[in-house]
Each structure stands twice: as structure tokens, then as C-alpha cells.
Amino acid sequence: MTSEELDILFQEAVERINAHTEPFPADFLLRLYAYYKKATNNYGRPSSSKPIINAFKTNALFQVQDVSEDEAKRIYIDLVDNYFLYRK
């Protein structure tokens, strides 16, 4: 898969998540958050008004620190595909 194809699939996965109106499980959201941030090379500080949420987000980012941007995109795509395939 080319880098351009990966980018297209990643953007489609992001759009699927953004278009979904039902709530997601918190652990799933944290994984999406971390891989999205890594895939987009966006390392800004978490901006929740609740310190505990910022701590969880920071921890999620720490857990993916050794993942490349392309691998983060692949994992994000897989997470989204599996969620919509297996959700109840």
C-alpha cells in the first residue's frame, strides 16, 4: 500500500468516527486519540478541563511513543474497522 493510499484510508476512518452519533467506550476513545495524535504528528498537550482526563490522554500518548506515523494510521484504521464490524 502506498503512502497516499494509507492517507486516504486513514481519512476515511476518521470521517467514519466523526460521523458516528452514538457514544463510544472510553477505552476505545483513548486508543483512537493516541493513534490519531501519533498518526497526525500532533503532540499538543491534552486540553480537557478535567485533570484526570488529561492524565489518561497523556498516558495513552506515552503508550504509543514508539509507533511510527504510518503504523499509527494502520492501527487506527484497524481499530475503526473492527469496531464497526463487531459492535453490538
pLDDT at 46: 77
Report the b/e string of 14-40 with b at 16+ CB within 10 A. beebeeeeeeeeeeeebbbbbbbbbbe
User: Per the domain annotation, does 1 fall within a domain?
Assistant: no
pLDDT at 78: 97
End-to-end CA distance of the chain: 31
pLDDT at 72: 97
The total domain count for the chain is 1
CATH code of residue 46: 1.20.80.10
Domain that includes residue 24, residue range: 7-86
pTM equals 0.90
**pLDDT tens readout for residues 59-74:** 999 999 999 999 999 9
User: Per the domain annotation, does 2 fall within a domain?
Assistant: no
* H helix count then E strand count, the chain: 4, 0
